[in-house]
């Protein structure tokens, strides 16, 4: 499964106390033991009442046709004789979960049905990037840069979106990616950090011209400065980090009976929940999960895809349960670089395709509906004669979330060259 690694070497840069608070950050799990100056900085940037966005990237190109099954489409079963998900029926749990008489959830996503029925979860089908590439790496870059077909874009759409909402006292935790590297989606002029694991209090921070700072990089950079007052600030900061290492991360208990499971995705989502509960000014969070490139033995009701979907469904459902009333201010969206071929291949898998499905969950979401125009799976309806055709550009989905939920008024700089006319939005976010 291809993964992306964007690590670059760090270089010394000038620092100031204000710069550190804006560009740097600390992995926080609790504020009670924090030095006074950091308490003041965080108090000024509390996330209380702010709208928040969580983006989950399924790397490897997930099979949207087996995730949200078009069981009302006869061609689906003709094209997938061994891996298709059976039509819904009453005497078996090994079948698609009927959502609206045409689409159904893969049975491994059963935990999400209740969210759909409660109108908290929406689905957009036949969505994705209009670029025809079948390269994982190019497609991921285009989805993260927000400029399909243009490889020269340096920053990401999510970072540009943050830049359109200026913050006088922005928290160093305003934008957080769970993982060792800052994804391209969060690269840009707005401060963002990569946090591999809150339990280990390791931190990677974005700096101009560098993808990440290696562990210990802050100490090395501060050691190079000649400003003794700044060194004092650094010492105070690292003492705070040491104190936070000794704090008990379990202070932020799971709520409402939530159980994320032990998968990497589940644990990352649990830590995202901890960061949101800490109320430290976090506005956007990013997490990814791999393994979706199922060319061989993908499986249907059981198999590789099913196992991935169990973790995905459990993680998303647990996050909703854990957040409780906080979900009123949160939108959670999933995306993948492209879908899979409509026909299964000779290895009981699927190859690189085109359009896919996206999940959108949250308090501002008009759920309980599968959005998007269904293009059909007939021979004359397929993209290039092999894939689900695209009818919804992913930028329309994200643009609606950014404008109606996050509050980005001007989408032109976020998705340059794209027609961001709100009249083209699907209407899945409440105004």
The 8-class DSSP code of residue 252 comes to S
Burial of 375 (0-12, 13-18, 19+ CB in 10 A): middle
Burial of 31 (0-12, 13-18, 19+ CB in 10 A): middle
At 174 the pLDDT is 86
Mean of pLDDT values over 2-23: 36
Torsion of CA 106, 109, 110, 113, to 10 degrees: -100
pLDDT over threshold 80, residue 28:
no
Reported as a single tens digit per residue, the pLDDT across 36-56 is 444 444 444 455 578 999 999
Percent share of the chain, pLDDT over 70: 76
Reported as a single tens digit per residue, the pLDDT across 62-88 is 999 999 999 999 999 999 999 999 999
Q: What angle do CA 242, 246, 250 make, to 5 degrees?
A: 135
At 200 the pLDDT is 66
330-336 vs 175-178, strand pairing mode: unpaired
Q: Tell me the pTM.
A: 0.84
pLDDT over threshold 50, residue 146:
yes
At 239 the pLDDT is 40
pLDDT over threshold 70, residue 126:
yes
User: What number of residues does the chain have?
Assistant: 431
Reported as a single tens digit per residue, the pLDDT across 245-280 is 543 334 678 999 999 999 999 999 999 999 898 887
At 288 the pLDDT is 97
In the numeric block, which tokens belong to residue 197? 């694991």
Q: Are 173 and 28 in contact (CB under 8 A)?
A: yes
Query: Pick the residue with more confidence: 397 or 12?
Result: 397
pLDDT over threshold 80, residue 59:
yes
Q: Are 305 and 297 in contact (CB under 8 A)?
A: no
Mean of pLDDT values over 192-220: 57
Q: 10 Å Cβ neighbour count for 290?
A: 16
In the numeric block, which tokens belong to residue 356? 């896919």
Q: What angle do CA 194, 22, 245 make, to 5 degrees?
A: 50
At 195 the pLDDT is 83
CA distance 66 to 100: 16
List, in sequence order, every beta strand (DSSP E) within 131-213: 175-178, 193-195, 204-205
pLDDT category at 154 given cuts 50, 70, 90 is very high
Backbone angles phi, psi at 65, to 5 degrees: -75, -25
Mean of pLDDT values over 137-154: 97
pLDDT over threshold 50, residue 414:
yes
pLDDT category at 172 given cuts 50, 70, 90 is confident
Average pLDDT score, the chain: 83
Burial of 13 (0-12, 13-18, 19+ CB in 10 A): middle
**Core vs surface per residue 332-365: b (16+ CB within 10 A) or e:** bbbbbbbbbbbbbeeebbbbbbbbbbbbbbbbbb
Q: Are 182 and 211 in contact (CB under 8 A)?
A: yes
Mean of pLDDT values over 204-212: 48
Reported as a single tens digit per residue, the pLDDT across 92-103 is 779 999 999 999
pLDDT over threshold 80, residue 202:
no
Q: 10 Å Cβ neighbour count for 421?
A: 10
Backbone angles phi, psi at 304, to 5 degrees: -60, -50
pLDDT over threshold 50, residue 394:
yes
């Amino acid at each position: 499964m291809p993964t992306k690694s964007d690590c670059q070497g760090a270089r010394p840069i000038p620092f100031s106390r204000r710069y550190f608070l804006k560009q740097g950050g600390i992995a926080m799990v609790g504020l009670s033991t924090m030095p006074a100056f950091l308490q003041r900085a965080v108090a000024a940037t509390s996330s209380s009442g702010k709208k928040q966005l969580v983006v989950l990237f399924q790397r490897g190109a997930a099979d949207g046709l087996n995730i949200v099954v078009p069981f009302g489409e006869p061609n689906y079963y003709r094209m997938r004789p061994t891996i298709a998900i059976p039509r819904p029926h009453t005497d078996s749990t090994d079948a698609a979960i009927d959502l609206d008489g045409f689409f159904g959830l893969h049975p491994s996503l059963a935990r999400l049905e209740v969210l759909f029925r409660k109108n908290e979860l929406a689905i957009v089908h036949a969505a994705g990037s209009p670029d025809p590439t079948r390269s994982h790496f190019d497609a991921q870059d285009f989805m993260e840069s927000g400029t399909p077909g243009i490889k020269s874009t340096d920053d990401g759409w999510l970072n540009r979106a943050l830049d359109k909402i200026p913050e006088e006292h922005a928290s160093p935790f305003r934008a957080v990616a769970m993982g060792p590297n800052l994804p391209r989606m969060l690269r840009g002029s707005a401060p963002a950090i990569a946090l591999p694991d809150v339990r280990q209090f390791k931190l990677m921070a974005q700096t101009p011209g560098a993808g990440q700072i290696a562990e210990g990089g802050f100490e090395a950079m501060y050691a190079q400065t000649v400003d003794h007052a700044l060194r004092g600030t650094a010492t105070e900061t690292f003492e705070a980090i040491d104190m936070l290492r000794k704090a008990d991360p379990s202070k932020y208990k799971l709520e409402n009976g939530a159980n994320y499971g032990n998968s990497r995705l589940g644990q990352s989502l649990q830590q995202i929940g901890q960061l949101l509960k800490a109320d430290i000014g976090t506005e956007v969070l990013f997490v990814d999960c791999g393994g979706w490139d199922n060319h061989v033995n993908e499986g249907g009701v059981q198999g590789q895809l099913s196992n991935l979907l169990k973790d995905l469904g459990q993680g998303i459902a647990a996050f909703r349960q854990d957040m409780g009333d906080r979900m009123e201010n949160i939108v959670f969206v999933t995306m993948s670089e492209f879908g899979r071929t409509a026909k299964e291949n000779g290895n009981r898998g699927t190859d690189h395709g085109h359009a896919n499905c996206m999940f959108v969950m949250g308090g501002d979401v008009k759920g309980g509906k599968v959005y998007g125009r269904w293009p059909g799976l007939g021979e004359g309806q397929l993209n290039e004669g092999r894939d689900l055709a695209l009818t919804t550009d992913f930028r329309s989905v994200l643009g609606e979330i950014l404008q109606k939920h996050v509050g980005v008024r001007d989408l032109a700089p976020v998705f340059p060259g794209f027609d961001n006319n709100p009249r083209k939005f699907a209407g899945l976010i409440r105004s």
